[in-house]
Structure 1
Amino acid sequence: MNETFGAVLRRLRHVRGLTQERLAETAGVSAQAVRLLEAGRRRFPRPSTVTALADALRCTDSQRELLLSASQRASDLTRGLPSATVGFTGRAGEVEELTQFLAAGVTAPAVPIAAITGMGGIGKTSLALKVAEELADQFPDGQFLLDLRGFSRSGALDPLTALELLLGMVGTADAELPDDVDRASARFRSAVAGRRMLLILDNAADSTQVLPLLPGTSGTAVVVTSRRLMPELGGARQLQLDSLSEQEAVDLLAEIGGPTVRAESGAAVRIVQYCARLPLAVRVAGAQLIGRPASAAGALADRLADLSDRLSTLDDHGRGVRSSIAVSVEQLADSDDPTDVAAGGLLPRLAVLDGADVSTRVASRVAGVSTGQAERLLERLSDVSLTEALTPTRYRLHDLVAGYFDEVVPAAERRTVRCAALETYSAMTWQLGGMSRRPAGPREELADEGWRVGAADLEDRDTLLDLLDDERANLVATVRQAVEASPAEQELAVRLGIGFKYYGVARKRWAEWRDVTSATAPAAGDALPKAMLFADHGLARAELNDFDLAADALIRATEVLASIEAPEFEATTLVNLSHVLERAGRIDEGLVYGTRSLDRAIATGSREEEAESLLVLGMLHGKLGSPERSSYFTRAVEVMRANGPPRGLAMVFQQIGLSYRESGDFAAAIKPLEESLRLLVADNAGPYLSEAHEDLGWIRYLSGDAAGALKPLTEALRGAQEFELWDREGSVRLHLAQVLMALGRRDEAREHLDEALQIYGSRGMAAADEAQALLDKL
C-alpha cells in the first residue's frame, strides 16, 4: 500500500535527524504546518510547500519524486467525484453548452462560473456531475463537490463552515482556518491560485452563501446548482433547467426500468407524462418496474393517473417528489422575509386553478393583493423554481407542485379561489360588452353594473381582448370545473357564459364559445339566461359548420323562450335558427321558422332581424331554385342599408354571394363578395376580414381566375395567423393548395396541405381526410 504524504515526510525527517521545529525553520513554514502534515490532518500541501520541504530535507531525486508523488496521490483521491447518476440520459445540448463554456474559461482572465438552476428533482446535480466527467482531463489538480445543503431540512451550511470544508479538500489544515469569513475566503483563494480545479457548489441556498466560496483567479472553474436563481453572480453562465423532453424521459425510464418499459411504449409515455417529465419522478417510477412483467408498466400508469395517489406512488420512502417539494415550501414558510412567507401562502391557491399557467391579474385576485404585489410573489416563487416565468405577466406552476397542494387545500378555500378566478374572467367579458357599439338588448338588461367592477381599470378594448386571448384556455377549464361544483361557482360560471359572447364574437373564438356555453346552459336556472346560452351554443356550433347540432341547440332556445315574454330576442333566435337549418339542408323546417322569424321581426319593429329574415328566406328559395330568391335579397339589402350597421350590411352581401356560389352562379357571386369585403375593410373588422378574403379568393378560383385568387387567399392566411384562427387557417390552406396545384406550383401546395393536415389532424376533424386526399394526388 502506498504511503501517505505525512508518513513519507516523517520518515525522511527521521533519516535527516531533524526535529519538526528545525525542519519548519529550514523550509520556511510553520512548525504547526509540519505537525499537521505528519499527523495527516493536512493532506494536500501546495506544490510550493512540497518543494520547500524537499529542499530542507536535501532530498535525492528519487526521494523528491516520492514526496511529490505522495502529495499528488492525496489530491488524486479528492478528484473522485460521485459518478453522474446511473442512467443519465438527455440534456445533450446543456452538456455541450456547459463543457464548452467551462473549458474555454479556464484560460480566460476571470473565473468561469456556471449556475444551474431549477426545481428540486429536475436533475441539476446529475448534469453538473456529467459535465465534470466530460471535463476530467481539463482539471488535473482536482474536482471537488461540496453540498451546501441550501434546501435541506437540517439547514444550509454557513459560509465559514463551507470554507473550512473546502480548505480541507484542497489541502489546507483545519487548524489554520481563520475565524472570519473574509479572511477564510482570502485563504481559500490563495490556496487554489494557479491550480486547475473544478469546484461544484451543490444545492446552494442563495448567492450570499456562494460568493465567499468563489476562487479569485482563472484556472479553477465553478459550477453552482440551486433551486434559486442567482443573478448576483455577475458574468456567470445562467442555465435554468426545465423538464426532460418526452423522448428523453422515456429513455430515462427505460434505462432505469429495463425491458418492461420497452415492451409497453404506450404505457411508458403515459408514465412520464404523469411524472411531468421530472427526472426524479421518472427515476422513482422506473425503479418500480425493475424486473417486473410487461403488464406492470400499464398498471403503474393507471396508478399514476389518479392525482390523489400520484405523489404517494412517487414518494420513494420520503426521498421522492413530495419530500423534494416540501423542503422548498417549508423554507418559504419558515423564512424571516415576509415576501417569502406570502409567496408560500399563494402557492396552494395557484394549485387550485385549473389551467396550464396563471396571469399576475388572476393571481392578484385569488391572493387578494395588488397586481404589483402578485407579480413580486410570483417572481419570488420563480426564483426558487416553484413557478416558471413564461412572459412578464404569466407564470406556470409545475404539474407535480400543483399535485402536492391538491392533497391539502380545504374545500372552502378551493371555492374561494375558483370564485375569485371566475369573477375576474367574468368582469373582463362584461367590461368588453360595455364597450360594444351595438344598442342594448336583453343580454345587457340582464347585467348588473357590479359585474364589470373587477375589470374597470381595463379601458382599452384591444388590450382587454389580448388579455382574454391569454386567459381563454384557463377560462374554459375553470368554467368546466365550476359547473360541477358549488351553487356559488355555478352562478358565476353562468354569468361568465352569458358574457362570453362579447369576446367569442369579437375574436371569433368559436370553439371556446361552444365549450363555455355547452357547460353553462344546463346549469342556468332562469329561463332567459338558459335560452341565451342555448342560442349562443347553437351560433358557435354553426360557425364551426356543425349545423345539425347547432339547429338542435337553437330549437331548445326557442322552446325555452316560448315560456317567457322576450319578443325581440325570440325574433333573433328564430332567424338564426332558420339560417342554420338552411345550412343543414333542412329546407322545409327552415322555411317554417324563416316565415315565423319574419312575422315576429315585423311585429316587434326589429328592422335588422327583418333584413336577416328576408336574407335567409332568399337563401332557402335559392336552394329550391326558386326565382323569388333575388327579390328577397333586394329587400334584405334595402332594409339593412337603411337600418343596420356596416358590418350587418357586409354580412348580408356575404351570404348573398355564398348563396349564388352554392347554386353554381359564380359570376353573380363575385360582386356581393367584393362589396362585403369593402365594407368590412372600411369598418376595420379585424378577424372577420380573413373570412371575407377567403370567400372572394375562392369564388375567383371557381370562376376560372386562379391567378386572381392568390392575393385574397394569401391575405386571408395572414389574417388567420395574426388572430390565431386555426379553423380559418386550415380552410385557407386547403383552398390555397388547390389554387397552387392549378397553377402548377406543386411544392408550395404540398407545404400548405401538410400544415392543414396537422391543424385538422390534431383536432380529429374530418377535414383532415380532405387534406390527405389532396396530398395523395400530388
Structure 2
Amino acid sequence: MEAFDPAAGHPPLQPLRFSVLGPLRAWLGDTELALGSPQQRAVLALLLLRRGRAVSLDDLVDGVWDDDPPPGAVPVLRTYVSRLRRLLEPDRAPGRPSRTVVSLGDGYALGGRDTVASDLDRFEDQVHRAGLRQAAGDHRTAAQLLRAALDLWRGTPLAGVPGPYARSERTRLEARHLHVREAWLRAELALGRHSAVLPDLVALRDAHPLREDVCELLMLALYRCERQAEALEVYATARRTLAGELGVEPGPSLRALHARVLAGDPATDGAPATDDPRATEDPPADGEPPDPAPRTPVAYTSQLPADLPTFTGRRAELDRVARLLPAEGHPDTAVVALVDGMAGAGKTTLAVHWAHRVAHRFPDGNLFVNLRGHDREGSLDPADALTVFLVALGTAPDSIPDGLDARAALYRSVLADRRVLIVLDNGRDADQVRPLLPGTPGCLTIVTSRNRLSGLVVGQGAHPFTLGLPTAAEAREMLTRRLGAARVEAEPEAADDIVGLCARLPLTLAVVAARAAHHPEFRLTDIAGELRESHGSLDAFTGGEVGTDVRAVFSWSYRALPEESAGLFRMLSLHPGPDIGTAAASALAGVPRGRARALLAGLTGASLLTERAPGRFVFHDLLRAYAAEIAAAEDTGDRRRQALLRMHDHYLHTAHHAASALDPLRRMLPPPEATTDSAALRFNDRKNATAWLRTERYVLRPVVEHAAAHGFHDHAWRTAYALDVYFNRLGFWQDLKEINTVALEAARAVGDLTGEAYSLCGLGFAHAQLHHVGEALAAQERALELFEKSGDLLGQAHTRRALGYRANRTGAYGVALGHYDRARELYRAGHDPGGEASVLNQVAWTYILMGEHDRALERCERGIALYHEIGEAYGEASTRDTLGYALHQLGRYEAAVGCFEASAALFREIGDRYLEADVLRHLGASCRALGDPGAARAAWRGALALLEEVAHPEADDMRASLRALDAGG
C-alpha cells in the first residue's frame, strides 16, 4: 500500500447519539439535531435500525411508502439521504464521500460504528448482561440491569415516524419491551419482592388480559403475599376472558400453577414475602425454586432465507399446513410440522414460503438451519446447530456449555415462554432433529426431510405429511412463471409434453426451464423432443433420490460432450469465485487460451455454463455441485491438485504484473518462479491492469481464501500483497481487511516473517480506514517490529507511512510528522526517491489538516520536482491534486484550478478513472468558488460519468452535488 490518496484525510467524526425508544431524536456531540420531515425521519430510522447492513432503494421505498410511493420516489429518497449526510456530518469536506451514510451497491448503510450509539443499543446490552446474570443465579444484578434497561424508554418507540417499516418495528419493539418487563418482574419475584411488584403486575395484567405469562406472575405474587383467594380469582378471571375472547382454556403452565395454589403446595411459596433489598436469593431449604427458571431475554433474530420469487401452486399443501396452526391469539400450543418427500419435490421451497407467511405470528424471531442430512460431506452435528442458534438468540459464545445434552437444555431454557419460528431443513433422522426442538409451547417448528421421521411422530407428536408431486396444472404454472405466459401459450402441447417428461418434479422443471429461458430462440417442441430422445430418461424422476434424478437431467448434456470439454467442465467446479474468466479457465484446464475459449463456448452451447458477460462464465449452483461430484469420481486427487496449482499460479503472477503496472515505483516482492504453465497475463499500462482488476474484483478475495484453505499458503499472502495497491486506491477497505487477515494466517502457517510483516501492514492500514484505531495500531507496530528485526529498510519505511496515515486519521498530527520524517530517512537509506516523494505528499496533506497551508505548498513543490525528475506520472498527479487543495484552502482558486486540471490530465493519461474523477470533484469545487457554475457543472458531470463507468458507490454523492449546484444556480 504505497499509494495513499492525498484527499482521503478526514477530521475525526463527531459522536452521534440516537434515541428510538420514544420519539426519534439525534444528537451530534451535545447538540440536538432537527431531523427534518417525517419521511426523512423514516429513512433515518430504517438505516439506523439496520445499521451496518445495506438497505436497497427498493427496501427504502417500501419502508417509507409501502405500495403507494409518490412519483419520483427514488430521487426523493436520494434527496433525503443527501440532507441526512449534511446533517449528520457537517464537517465533511466538499466532494468527499460520506462516512456516516455510505453508498453500498444500489442502496445505503449507516456507517461510523465507532461513533454511533443509540438507546436501543444500550437497552439490548443491558438486557443481554441481565440474561447472563440470571443464568448465573444472580437475580439481584439481573433485576437492576433490567430495570435500568426499562428506564431508557421514553414512550412509544419511533413515535411520529411514518411508514410500514416504522410500524412493524414499533410493534416488534413494544413486544420486546413487554418481554423485558416480564423478565424484570420474574427477577423481582425471585428476590422475594412480591408485594413491591404487585401494582406493576396488576397494571400489566389489565393492559394484557390475554397474556397468560402475566396472569401467572400475578398469581405467584398474590399467593406469596398470603392472598390465596385473590390469586385464585386471577385464574378464574383469566379463564373467563380466554374462553370469552378466544374460546380456549388456559395453557398447561397456568393450569399447573392454579392446581398448586389451590392445593397450597409449599413449593409455590418461594422466597419470603419481603421488600427488604437484602432478601435472600436462595430458595427455602425444604422447597424447590419458586419460579420456573427466569428466561434469558434474547435479541430478535431473523434467519429465514428469501422466499422464492417464482413460487406458485401448492395450494392444497399450504391449506393443509395452515390448519396445523391454532387460530390467532393461541400462542401456547406447541406445533411440530414434519414435511417429508422425495428429493427435488420442493420441500425446502414450500417450508420457507409457509414460514414467511406465518412469521408475523412469532414476534421473538425465526431460526433456520440446513442440517445437510444427505450431504456428501456429512450432515451437521446437532451440537453445532445448537451453538449457532444460541449465539443468534443472544447467548455469549463463552457461556455455551460443552456436550449435546447441556446445550440442548440451555436452548430449551432460552426458548421457554418465547414465540419463535424454527425451520430445520433437510434433517437426516429423528436423533439429529430431536435436540433442536423447543421444550415448551409457543413455538412452531417446521422440519423437512427425505425420510419419514416416525420417531418424531411417536415421541414428539409431530404432524407429518408427505409432499408429493404438484398437479399437472400446477407444474405447468411453474413453467409459465419462469418462461412467461406468451411463450407457453404459443406452444401449449409442447409445454404439456415438457411437464410430463419431467414427471412434474419441481427441480427438473426448473433446470429445463432455465435451459429454455437461456435460449429464447429455441422452440418448446424442440426442447421436448430432446428430452424424449435423451439417454438419461426422465422416467427416473418418478421416484428415487435427487442425486440420481439430477444426474439424469445433467448427464443428458454432459455425456454428449467431447472428452476435452468434459474435462474442463469438471475442472471448473474447483474454481472458488462467483464467475471465471477465459484466462483462469485456461490455467485450470492446462490448455492454451484460444482452445479454452472454444471449449467454454461449447459448454455454454450445451447449457452447462452461462456466459453472463463477454468472457465471463458462471455455473448454476446445482451444475457446480454435479461437476464437482463428477470430478471427484473421474479425476485423481493429483490431477485436481495440479489444476489448482496452475490456477493459483495464474492469479498470483497476474496480480503481481497488474500491481507492477499500477505502481511501477512500488517495491514489489517478486513471486517464486511458476512451476506450471499458468497462462499469467501481462499488462502494457495501468489502464489494462486496472480493467483486469476491476473485472476480477469479486473473484480475487475468494481466491486468496481458497489458497490459504487448501495449503497454498505462499500463494495466499503474496496474492494479497499484490492486491493491496488496487484495493487501497479504490477504497475497498473491507476487502483489504479480509484478504490481509487470511494472508496473515497463511504466512504464519509457513513461518514466513516477511509475509507476516507485509500482511500486518496491509491489515493495519485497512483497520485504520475502517476506524478500528486499536487494531490498526497493534498490527502496524507488530509489522514495524518484524521489519526492524529483519533489517528491511523499505519495509520499515512502508510501515512508518502507514503509522503516520493512521495518526492523521486520529488527529495526532505531530505523531504523524514524526513517522513521516523517519520514513524519509529510511527511503533515502534504501535509495528509493519515489518513496521519499510520496512522503513529501503525505507531509503536505498533514499540514493541510493542521491548517498550515503555506508549509503544505512548499512540500508539494519539492515532491512534484522529485517525481518529475524520476518520471513518475502517478505520484506527480497525486501531489498536484494536493497542491491544488492547499491553494483552494488559501482562497487562490485560479491557481488551484490550474493544478487540478494538470492533475486530471495526468490521471486521464494514466487511465485511472477513479482518481481522475476525484480530481474533477475538487476542480468543480474551485470553479464554483470562482463564481463559474458552468465550469463546475462540467467538471462534476465528467466526474459522475467516470464514477458510473467504474460502478463506484460515490456516484450518488456526485449526483447530489450536481443537484445542489443546479438548485443554487
User: TM-score when scaled to structure 2?
Assistant: 0.43
1:656-679: CA deviation from partner (whole Å, max 9, x where unpaired): 333565788867754543442244
Q: Is 1:385 aligned to 2:607, yes or no?
A: yes
Confirm or deny that 1:719 pairs with 2:946: yes
Q: CA deviation at 1:715?
A: 0.4
Q: The residue matched to 2:611 in structure 1 has which SS?
A: strand
1:493 is aligned to: 716
Distance in 2 (alpha carbons) for counterparts of 1:306 and 1:690? 52
Measured after TM superposition, the shift of residue 633 of structure 1 is 4.0
Q: What is the letter of the counterpart of residue 550 of structure 2?
A: I
Report the equivalent of 2:346. Answer: 283
* Residues 917 and 947 in structure 2, CA contact (< 8 A), matched pair in contact too: yes
Question: Could you tell me which residue of structure 1 aligns to residue 800 of structure 2?
Answer: 574
Question: What is the match of residue 679 of structure 2?
Answer: 455
1:428 aligns with 2:654: yes
Alignment of structure 1 residues 305-324 onto 2, 5 Å: 318-319=543-544, 321-324=546-549
Match of 2:745 among 522, 536, 549: 522
- Partner of residue 364, structure 1: 586
Question: Closer, same or farther in 2 for the Cα pair 1:383/1:620, shift >3 Å?
Answer: closer
| SS, match of residue 740 in structure 1 | helix
Q: Structure 2 CA distance, aligned partners of 1:696 and 1:661? A: 10
Q: 1:677 aligns with which of 904, 918, 924?
A: 904
**In 1, distance between residues paired with 2:955 and 2:321?**
42
CA distance in 1 between counterparts of 2:865 and 2:719 reads: 37
Note the 1:572-611 alignment, pairs <5 A: 572-611=798-837
8 A contact 1:554–1:573 mirrored in 2 = yes
Q: How far did 1:455 drift?
A: 3.4
Cα offset for 1:415? 4.6
1:714 CA displacement? 0.7
Does the CA contact (< 8 Å) of 1:431 and 1:452 recur in 2? no
Maintained 8 Å contact 1:430/1:451: no
Q: Is the 8 A contact 1:332 1:344 kept in 2?
A: no
- Matched residue of 1:454: which SS? coil
SS in 2 for 1:443: coil
Question: Which string of whole-angstrom CA distances, capped at 9 and with x for unpartnered residues, describes residues 425-484 of structure 1?
Answer: 122223335656735x6424x333538963356565555654443333122112223323
Among candidates 515, 530, 552, match of residue 327 of structure 1: 552
Change (3 A) 1:321 1:384: farther
**Residue identity opposite 2:903 in structure 1:** S
- What residue in structure 1 maps to residue 309 of structure 2? 248
Structure 1 vs Structure 2 CA RMSD: 4.5
Aligned with 1:455: secondary structure?
Answer: coil
Q: Distance in 1 between matches of 2:753 and 2:875?
A: 28
Aligned residue identity for 2:944: L
After TM superposition, give the deviation of residue 386 of structure 1 in Å. Answer: 2.8
Structure 2 counterpart of 1:371, one-letter code: R
1:443 and 2:665 correspond = no
Question: Hey, what's the Cα distance between the residues in 1 that align with 2:449 and 2:594?
Answer: 36
Alpha-carbon distance, 1:371 to partner = 3.5
Match of 2:623 among 381, 385, 401: 401
Letter in 2 for 1:285: T
Distance 1:397 1:323, change over 3 A: same
Give the equivalent residue in structure 1 for 2:707: 482
2:883 pairs with one of 656, 672, 685: 656
Distance 1:420 1:635 in 2: 46
CA contact under 8 A between 1:653 and 1:673: conserved in structure 2? yes
Contact 1:433 1:499 in 2 (8 A): yes
Q: Which residue of 2 aligns with 1:688?
A: 915
Question: What is the distance in 1 between the residues matched to 2:868 and 2:795?
Answer: 21
Query: What SS class does the counterpart of residue 353 from structure 1 fall into?
Result: coil
Q: Describe the superposition over 1:348-370 as per-residue Cα deviations: whole angstroms up to 9, x where unpaired.
A: 43223222222333233223334
Q: Distance in 1 between matches of 2:316 and 2:783?
A: 57
Q: Which amino acid aligns with 1:689?
A: E
- Is the Cα contact below 8 Å between 2:856 and 2:886 reproduced in 1? no
Letter in 2 for 1:607: P
Partner in structure 1 of residue 456 of structure 2: none
- 2:936 corresponds to which residue? 709
CA contact (8 A) 2:661 2:684 kept: no
What secondary structure does 1:562 align onto? helix
Could you say which residue in structure 2 is the equivalent of 1:472?
A: 697
3-state SS of paired residue (2:674): helix
Q: Is the CA contact 2:857–2:886 (under 8 Å) kept in the aligned structure 1?
A: no
Deviations 1:162-188 (A, max 9, x none): xxxxxxxxxxxxxxxxxxxxxxxxxxx
* 1:592-636 deviation per Cα after TM superposition (whole angstroms, max 9, x unaligned): 212222333344443333333334334334444446444444444
Q: Which residue of 2 aligns with 1:774?
A: none
Match of 2:578, SS state, is coil
Task: Give how far 1:709 is off.
Answer: 1.7
TM-aligned CA deviation for residue 285 of structure 1: 3.0
Contact map agreement 1:427 1:452 (CA 8 A) in 2: no
Which residue in 2 is equivalent to 1:209? none
Specify whether residues 259 and 636 from structure 1 end up closer, same or farther in structure 2 by C-alpha distance, changes over 3 A only: farther
- Give me the whole-angstrom Cα distance separating, in 1, the residues matched to 2:621 and 2:965: 45
Distance (Å, rounded) in 2 between the aligned partners of 1:291 and 1:653: 61
Amino acid in structure 2 at the alignment position of 1:356: P
Residues 574 and 597 in structure 1, CA contact (< 8 A), matched pair in contact too:
yes
The equivalent of 1:350 in structure 2 is 572
Q: Map 1:735-746 to 2 at 5 A.
A: 735-743=961-969
User: How far apart, in 2, do the equivalents of 1:287 and 1:447 lie?
Assistant: 51
How has the CA–CA distance of structure 1 residues 458 and 666 changed in structure 2, closer, same or farther, with 3 Å as cutoff?
closer
Find the aligned partners of 2:352 and 2:865 in 1 and give their Cα distance. 74
Counterpart of 2:229? none
- CA distance in 2 between counterparts of 1:645 and 1:555 reads 30
Checking the alignment, whether the CA contact within 8 Å between 1:548 and 1:584 is kept in structure 2 is: no
Structure with the larger helix share: 1
Highest CA radius of gyration, 1 or 2? Answer: 1
Equivalents in 1 of 2:323, 2:919: separation in Å?
A: 51
Q: Secondary structure at the match of 1:561?
A: helix
Shift of 1:399: 0.8
Change (3 A) 1:412 1:589: farther
Say whether residues 1:557 and 2:620 are aligned partners: no
2:609 and 2:859 map into 1 onto residues whose CA distance is: 60
> In structure 2, how many angstroms separate the alpha carbons of the residues matched to 1:732 and 1:548?
33
C-alpha contact 1:257 1:289 (8 A) present in aligned 2: no
Q: Is the aligned partner of 1:697 residue 2:760? A: no
Change (3 A) 1:447 1:381: closer
Q: Secondary structure at the match of 1:395?
A: strand
Is the contact between residue 804 and residue 817 of structure 2 (CA under 8 Å) also seen in structure 1?
Answer: yes
Please state how far the C-alpha of 1:318 moved relative to its aligned partner: 4.5
**One-letter code of the match for 1:673?**
F
- Corresponding residue of 1:534: 760
Q: Conserved in 2, the CA contact under 8 Å of 1:258 and 1:291?
A: no
Closer/same/farther in 2, CA of residues 300 and 414 from structure 1, 3 Å limit: farther
Identity of aligned pairs, percent?
19
> 1:381: how far off?
3.7
Q: Verify the 8 A CA contact 1:558 1:574 in the aligned structure 2.
A: yes
The amino acid that maps onto 2:678 is: G
For 1:86-485, list aligned pairs within 5 A.
248-251=309-312, 257-258=318-319, 281=344, 283-286=346-349, 302-303=370-371, 318-319=543-544, 321-331=546-556, 335=559, 339-404=561-626, 410=632, 415-433=641-659, 435=661, 438-439=664-665, 442-444=667-669, 446-450=670-674, 454-455=678-679, 458=682, 461=685, 465-485=690-710
Letter of the structure 2 residue corresponding to residue 610 of structure 1? E
